[in-house]
Chain A
Amino acid sequence: MSEDCATLDLAEAAARLADGRLTSVALTEACLARAQTWQASRNCFIRIDAEPALAAARARDEELKRGHRRGPLHGIPLAHKDMFYREGRASTGGSRILRDEIAKTTATVLRRLDAAGAVEIGTLNMSEFAAGPTGHNIHYGPCRNAYDAAHVSGGSSSGSAVSVAARAVFGALGSDTGASIRLPAAYNGVVGLKPTYGRVSRHGAMPRSWSLDHVGPFARTARDCALLLQAIAGADPDDSTASMRSVPDYAAMLGAADLSGMTIGVAEHGVTLDPEIAAAMEASVRQLEKLGAKVRRVALSDLSAAFRVGETIIKGEAAAMHRQWLETRPQDYSNSVRFRIEGGLYLPATDYIDALRLRGVMTAQFISETMAGIDMLHIPATPLLTPTIVESDMETKDSETLLTLFSRLTHFMRPFNFFGLPAVSVPCGFSSAGLPLAYQLVGHPFSEGAMLRAVDVYQRATDFHRAAPQL
C-alpha cells in the first residue's frame, strides 16, 4: 500500500517538498481527501475550500520550480479555527450572528502564514463565540472526538484539534482564553501550545476576552509547533498587546539529546485525579526524569483564586462586547453561551478593574513562589476523563451542574491564561477506553523555546503522538 502523505509530520512533509519528492498539490489533495472523509463523522470543518486550496498549492509548486521556497511552511496544507478574519470572507466564530459577516481585514496570523507560503484548505469548527470547553455547537453541530465520536472533542478550538489528529491538516491555529487550545489538544492526542500573552498578535482574531485571549498552534509534534509558532509570533503594529521582544529561532532550539540541566517542578496540587490520569501523570514524570530532567516536587498554591479572578475578567469583557446582541438577538445565542455571558452584565466596574490590577500582583507571586528554581511546571491537563457529548450538553442538561463540571475540566488550565504564562498540552497515553491523556508543561514568560525543547525530547523517546485515530 502506498504511503498516505497526509500522515507525515509537517517537518517531514516540508523536507520532501523542498527536495522535490512531493508537491504541494499532492499534499493538498491528500489532506482534502482525508478532510472530506473525516468530516462526515467528526464535523471538524465549517467549510472546506478545495478549489482555492488547490489553486494556492499549484502556485506554491510553481514557485518551487522557479527555485523560490519561502520557508518550511511553503506549500503545507493547514486550516484554522473559524474566527481568524480574512478580508472578503465570513468568519462565523461558530455563531449564527456572525454567519454572514464579511471581514474587512485579514488577521495578522493569517497574513503571516500566507507570506510563509502555507495553503489554507478550509476553516474549522469551534464552540460558539469561543465559549465552551466541550466542542458542542447548536449552529454547526458538535465537533466529535477524533478517537471516539461519542465523546466530546474539547473546545473551544474543537476542529483545530480533531483535524490535526485526523491527519486532515498538518497544523492548525486556535485560540485559548481559558483552556481552548490545550483541552481539545489533550482530548485528541495532539500538541497544543498557548504561548505567553503578547507573543502572538490577536489582531483580526474574533475576541472572547481581550485580556485573556491567546492565539497558538496545534500540531502532532513539538517541532511542527515550533515551525508554526515561528511564522506567527512577533510584534505587530496592529495589536498594542503584542510584545516587542524578538522572536528566537525555535526550531534551532530543538534536537537536544536529553533533558540534562533542566529542572521540572511536579505540581503537588491536592486535586483528586481520575486514577487512570494519575497513573499517566506519574509515568510521564518518570519518563522525563529518565530523560535527564531533574524533578522536584512543588507545592502548588490554591489555583481557585486565580481561576475566579480570571473568570471575572472574561465575563466583564464578554458582556461588554456582546450586550448589544444580547439585547437585540438573544434568540440567536445558545443557552450555554448566553448563560456564560449574562453574569458579566451585572459585575461592578470596580471589581472588573480590581481583577485586572490583581493580575500583575498574583502573577508575580506565582512566578516568585511556585516557579522559583524550576524551568517549567508539570501539571495534569485535566483531572477528569473525557466526557461524552450527551452527558455534557448544556442545551439539554442542568446548566449549573454542567458549569461546575466545566470548571473542573479546566481547573488546571484557566489560571495560566490569567497569569499569561506559556503552557503546552502533551500527549502521554491512553485511557482504558482508548481516549488520549495528556499533561501540561507551564513555563516562565516567553520560554516557549525551552518548553518545546522538552516536549521534543519527550516525543523522541515516546510514541503516544504517533498513534492515529481510525474511522
Chain B
Amino acid sequence: MPNNDDRTPADTLMKAPGTSSITSARIGDIAVEVTRLCGAVRGAAHLFSFNDEPGDFRALLDRKSS
C-alpha cells in the first residue's frame, strides 16, 4: 500500500486504496452508481428507527421460521 502521509483530505477521498486504476472517464459512471445506491438506502431510511441494528436480521429469520 502507498504511504498516505503526504495526501490532502481530497486526495485521500479520490485516491483511496483500490482506486488508482479508475480513470477520470469512469469516475462519472461510478458517481451515478453510488448516488443511485445511496439513494435507495436513504429513500428507505424512514423504515428503521434508532434502535434497529444489523444483527436484528438473523434473529428475525429464527423468529419467523415455519
Contacts and interface: CB of A to CB of B under 8 A. Distances in A.
B57 to A, nearest CB: 4
Which one of B18, B31, B58 has the highest number of Cβ atoms from chain A below 10 Å of its Cβ? B18
B30 A363 contact: no
A245 B66 CA distance: 12
Interface string A315-339: 1000100111011001100000010
Contacts of B26: 342
Interface of B is mostly: helix
Contacts of A360: 52, 54, 56-57, 59-60
B19 interface: yes
A367 B1 CA distance: 45
Contacts, number: 139
Contacts of B10: none
Contact of A197 (B39, B40, B61, B66): B61
Contact of A354 (B29, B41, B60, B65): B41
A360 B48 CA distance: 9
Interface in A337-387: 338, 342-343, 345-348, 351, 353-365, 367, 375
A445 interface: yes
Interface in B32-66: 33-34, 36-45, 47-48, 52-54, 56-62, 64-66
B57 A327 contact: no
A375 B66 CA distance: 9
A346 B17 CA distance: 11
Contacts of A312: 37-38, 40-41
Interface stretch (A13-21, A231-239, A303-311): A303-311
A106 interface: no
A223 interface: no
Contacts of B56: 357, 360-361
B20 interface: yes
A358 B47 contact: yes
B21 interface: yes
Contact of B64 (A197, A346, A361, A445): A445
A309 B40 contact: yes
24 contacts: A196-B61, A305-B43, A308-B41, A309-B40, A327-B20, A331-B21, A338-B21, A343-B37, A345-B16, A348-B38, A351-B42, A354-B41, A355-B41, A357-B53, A357-B56, A358-B41, A358-B45, A360-B57, A362-B44, A363-B61, A443-B66, A444-B66, A446-B61, A450-B66
Nearest to B29: A400
Nearest to B13: A346
A324 B61 contact: no
Contacts of B1: 324, 327
Nearest to B14: A346
Interface of B: 1, 16-22, 26, 29-31, 33-34, 36-45, 47-48, 52-54, 56-62, 64-66
Nearest to A330: B21
A342 B25 CA distance: 13
A322 B18 contact: yes
B57 A359 contact: yes
A7 B21 CA distance: 48
B52 A308 contact: no
Q: Which of B19, B20, B43 has most A Cβ within 10 Å?
A: B19
A403 to B, nearest CB: 9
A359 B54 contact: yes
Contacts of A353: 54
A198 interface: yes
9 A-B pairs closest in CB distance: A323-B18, A308-B40, A360-B56, A356-B54, A330-B21, A326-B18, A360-B57, A446-B65, A444-B66
A400 B19 CA distance: 19
B52 A342 contact: no
A309 B31 CA distance: 16
Interface string A183-215: 000000000000011100000000000000000
A312 B54 CA distance: 14
Given A312-B40, A343-B30, A361-B52, A354 B17 contact: no
Given A305-B44, A351-B42, A357-B53, A445 B18 contact: no
Contact of A346 (B30, B39, B54, B59): B30
